[in-house]
Amino acid sequence: MGRINKNITAKDKLSIYINTAIKIIRGLLNRWRFKKVSGFIFIARRVTLLNVGNIALGKNVKFENNSEVQGLASQVMIFEDNVTIGRNTMIRPSSYYGVGEIGEGCHIGYNSSIGPFGYVGCAGKVIIGNNVMIGPRVSIFAENHNFADNNKSIKSQGVSNKGITIEDDCWIGSGVIILDGVTIGKGSVIGAGTVVTKNIPENSKVFDKRTKVVQRR
């Protein structure tokens, strides 16, 4: 963790130290539940951790208030050093009840963060590289419903999942939606509110033009 800004008052520093210490204590009390933990972890209030015996953590991994992480996946889910899962963020590979297919899970790289109110649906493998900044309310869906047969209900046609990769050093702006099968190339910036449906080359800047197209299914 970095140093606290020198301009913060002594009172505020004390509050930060106390809150951080409480998160560390929660981390110490819960570390036995994970498959592997390499250092201190920080668990804030009202964090929900499910099936985390399938999750491996590096050091200084942070779970902020009201976040929820489910580890029911076919592969080990990995959170590398200094990963932050923001407030009210949900990471979910599978059904809570274990019905249907078991998802593949996710791998989040060093120094990467997911902002508040994020959603990572990792039924297909979601790979987030190193030093990736994901803003608030970003949704990642590595799954798609099949709907080609108009004589059957969509629900009965099952799903497909190709997976999603966000390469190193990307900035994903607030409210971005990333759909299944996409790779976002290294060093790219995705503007707020963009819907990403196609691969993005390295070092790109992408901003949604909000073109509305209505097609028959």
Amino acid at 191: G
Please report, in tens digits, the pLDDT of each residue of the chain (217 residues total): 667 777 888 888 888 889 999 999 999 999 999 999 999 999 999 999 999 999 999 999 999 999 999 999 999 999 999 999 999 999 999 988 877 789 999 999 999 999 999 999 999 999 999 999 999 999 999 998 888 888 899 888 888 899 999 999 999 999 999 999 999 999 999 999 999 999 999 999 998 765 344 445 3
Residue 172 lies in a domain: yes
CATH number at residue 81: 2.160.10.10
Burial class (CB in 10 A: 0-12, 13-18, 19+), 30: middle
Q: Which residues contact 25 (CB under 8 A, 6 or more apart)?
A: none
Which residues have CB under 8 Å from 63's CB, separation 6+?
Answer: 41, 42, 43, 44, 47, 49, 69, 85
145 an active-site residue? yes
Which member of 45, 46, 145, 205 is catalytic?
A: 145
Show the domain range for 53: 10-205
Structural domains in the chain (count): 1
